[in-house]
Amino acid sequence: MGTGMFDYAPAPESTALVDIAASYGLYIDGAMVDPLDGTPFKTVNPATEEVLAEVVAAGPRDVDRAVAAARAAYDGTWSRLSGRDRGKYLFRVARLVQERARELAVLESIDNGKPIRESRDVDVPLAAAHFFYYAGWADKLGYAGFGPDPRPLGVAGQVIPWNFPLLMLAWKIAPALATGNTVVLKPAETTPLTALAFADICRQADLPPGVVNIVTGAGDTGRALVEHPGVDKVAFTGSTEVGRQIARSVAGTRKKLTLELGGKAANIVFDDAPLDQAVEGIVNGIFFNQGHVCCAGSRLLVQESVADELLDRLKRRLATLRLGDPLDKNTDIGAINSPAQLDKIRELSDVGEQEGAERWSPACELPERGYWFPPTLFTGVSQAHRIAREEIFGPVLSVLTFRTPAEALEKANNSPYGLSAGVWTDKGSRILWMAQRLRAGVVWANTFNRFDPTSPFGGYKESGFGREGGRHGLEGYLDV
Amino acid sequence: MSEPTAEQAPEAARLAVRKTLKLYVGGAFPRSESGRTYEVRAADGRFVANAALASRKDARDAVVAARKAFGGWSSATAYNRGQVLYRVAEVLEGRRGQLAVEVADADDVTAAEAGRRVDAAIDRWVWYAGWSDKVHQVRGSANPVAGPYFDFSVPEPTGVVALVAPPSSLLGLVSVVAPAVVTGNTCVVVAHEHGPGPAVALAEVLAASDVPGGVVNLLTGRATEIAPWLASHMDVNAIDLIGVTDPGLATELEVAAADNLKRVLRPPLDEPDWFADPGLDRMVAFLETKTVWHPVGT
């Protein structure tokens, strides 16, 4: 893509700022340490398949050591520190993330495959903003509406996904530390590098040892962490299936649980919507971050009377998207994060064809190496199709039509998920009517995929429970 | 004096008209579809009634009724829901005497203590009635996002809530039902097995006031039998395990609830002091937060 309407010269971001070590240990009790029973594995650049570094899949003893360090830090320092001082540490962290923003953005794009434009303009600035926001809460918790002196829970075990590695780390660590908890965080197996860079930020901030511990690894490490008896709080962002397993594993304990899980958001376009803006919103909704977004607008519901016109405009727009080198500043669509995810996207897309939906992609040359999937849309999709029901977590849009607002609403809510939804119309009363009735935790009206540290985010139904962001985000880390 | 005959002292010997204890589902009072009952006795061993022994099918019917009622109840205005709840308190007030007798039997307490519990239950109901149009302002927010967007968050009801009621037959029951329904949820309640009388009396009060059928559905019987069906039911959105005293069963129910990621309120280590200020917890447990964004521009 990129040929035809416009040609762009390559504009790659420099990687000079990034210094990736050949191998990494675990960040426990304020130091990078060798594993006790962990085993090494490699993290690769999904755009090139090059090995970036060797990291540790932490074993049960490693997790045990990290939880013990977090407990000692909780009892010994962090829970005794004033809110003001906790806040000052977090302000430091926010500033350090800002100071090292370009480095973190490049690192994120290399490890994750996302376009540098997104890591630079969205992921990293939002991560810094999240720390800055919760830093300010640390000495104001008595005003947050949870009583005069709400208490922390203790040690938080946090497991985060690969789609927004540093941003999800910020969503987890910032409120946990602001409220006085200490953390053991496990980044996703395919994207450990920015979390390990964050360990260095903790060093620069002089954060007391053990307040933040980073254990890398895959599912087994995550399971060891959430099932560890020394953990008081479990926070997980990821698939609904793993969320269910975690909910079962904490049953019968006193662990507090928050889950931010999958979605199958309806993005609803009415016939009076400004169509060009809606097209931009649809593109942003499903092709942002290659569609690796739990709140992606993966079901387009378009009013029948404007369906043809909208699809024409959408297809013209998709033909201008540039897919390729994530580090190129002109790139719109980067690499799929892993071969496993690529297989899943391919499989569900094939199912879409087999079930009778019509598949379309713009002419698009995929790089020879790396993991890639072209922007794809399916028309003629029914509510029963798997591509209308299951989360694909890739750049694949399913298009359905409707005639009346009531029908749009019924189709939008016909999902076990309830994370987000979009509404596009010029009619204010209709926006509010829809917003009231959509069973979803976030409703974007005439916009999509907006995030802010002050704005509570989280799901209804099988998209999980608990909120991250805003005053609401404190609650999951307080004994209330 | 000679011994009194039946004709001479009719009042003393009046034979009571006893009540059949039935289920309350969808605004009606059916018997259990299973045809089963169980004998309810007072603490002194006296026969009180045969209560309906609800079955899995009754539980499912109750969920269907609760789901059907959810749309209307959750979209009623907060003012309206507040008045409907207040009306329940008005009707309860008129039956204080009857309730006190039933609570004394069910909770095995003195008449004075039973009266105190009934009064607290009525006051609790009034307290929650007043929350209907205030919880949004306490729990909602306008969010100052860093961009040209109007952004706000509001609490909304979770949906259909299953409640395993605590032993406190009226005050405990009211303290778990009122916070669930005042915000717009509908519920299926499993009354405590050993004292269902006050629960059935509450159902009769609900039916006689303005609460739409299906908003509160009440099952009598064994929580050990019914609760697993509710915990695993895919159209139940949340479950309150307050009345589950067996830790093994509580764990089992929480595991089953994970099938559709129900919100689970775990049982506390000890039964709470039902006379204490309840706080917001039981309302908040069954509220979702919805955040809405819209661009600002000319």
Per-residue pLDDT at A2: 46
Same domain, A52 and A201: yes
Token pair in block for residue A117: 């434009």
Domain span at residue B186 reads 37-295
Q: Provide the percentage of residues in chain B whose pLDDT is more than 90.
A: 92
Same domain, A92 and A188: yes
Asked if residue B281 is part of any domain, the answer here is yes
**Which chain A residues have a beta carbon less than 8 Å from that of B296?**
none
Instruction: Report how many Cβ contacts below 8 Å link chain A to chain B.
Output: 108
Asked if residue B215 is part of any domain, the answer here is yes
Asked if residue A18 is part of any domain, the answer here is no
Same domain, A219 and A314: no
Count how many domains chain A has: 2
pLDDT in tens, A130-150: 999 999 999 999 999 999 999
Domain span at residue A427 reads 266-445
Asked if residue B95 is part of any domain, the answer here is yes
CA distances from B210 to A375, B121, B125, B127, B218 (A): 54, 18, 14, 18, 16
Residue B164 has pLDDT above 90, yes or no: yes
Strand order in the sheet with A26-28: A31-33, A26-28, A212-214, A182-186, A155-159, A233-237, A256-260, A464-465
Query: Which residues of chain B approach chain A closer than 8 Å at the C-beta?
Result: 75, 138, 141, 143-147, 149, 151, 153, 158, 237, 247, 250-252, 254-255, 257-261, 263-264, 266, 281, 288-295
CB contact under 8 A, A259 and B261: yes
Over chain A, what is the mean pLDDT? 97
pLDDT (average), residues B259-282: 95
Question: Could you tell me the CATH number of the domain that includes residue B76?
Answer: 3.40.605.10
Residue type, B185: N
Q: Provide the percentage of residues in chain A whose pLDDT is more than 90.
A: 98
Same domain, A236 and A286: no
Per-residue pLDDT at B8: 53
Count how many domains chain B has: 1
Question: Could you tell me the CATH number of the domain that includes residue A116?
Answer: 3.40.605.10
Same domain, A305 and A164: no
Same domain, A295 and A387: yes
Asked if residue A14 is part of any domain, the answer here is no
Question: Could you tell me the CATH number of the domain that includes residue A297?
Answer: 3.40.309.10
CA distance B183 to chain A (A): 14
Asked if residue B259 is part of any domain, the answer here is yes
Asked if residue B6 is part of any domain, the answer here is no
Asked if residue A100 is part of any domain, the answer here is yes
Per-residue pLDDT at B5: 52
Asked if residue A12 is part of any domain, the answer here is no
Asked if residue A389 is part of any domain, the answer here is yes
State whether residue A454 sits within 8 Å of chain B by CB. yes
State whether residue A470 sits within 8 Å of chain B by CB. yes
Same domain, A342 and A233: no
State whether residue A288 sits within 8 Å of chain B by CB. no
Same domain, A192 and A297: no
Per-residue pLDDT at B6: 47
Coil, helix or strand at residue B79: helix
pLDDT bracket for residue B10 (50, 70, 90) = low
Same domain, A293 and A249: no
Which residues, listed in sequence order, are joined to residue B218 by a DSSP beta bridge? B24, B189
Same domain, A50 and A96: yes
Q: State in Å, rounded, how far the first CA of chain A is from the last one.
A: 53
Asked if residue B198 is part of any domain, the answer here is yes
Asked if residue B71 is part of any domain, the answer here is yes
CB contact under 8 A, A456 and B153: yes
Residue A394: CB atoms within 10 Å: 25
Q: Which residues of A are catalytic?
A: 260, 294
pLDDT (average), residues A108-114: 98
Same domain, A241 and A213: yes
Same domain, A246 and A395: no
Per-residue pLDDT at A304: 98
Residue A1 has pLDDT above 70, yes or no: no
Asked if residue A8 is part of any domain, the answer here is no
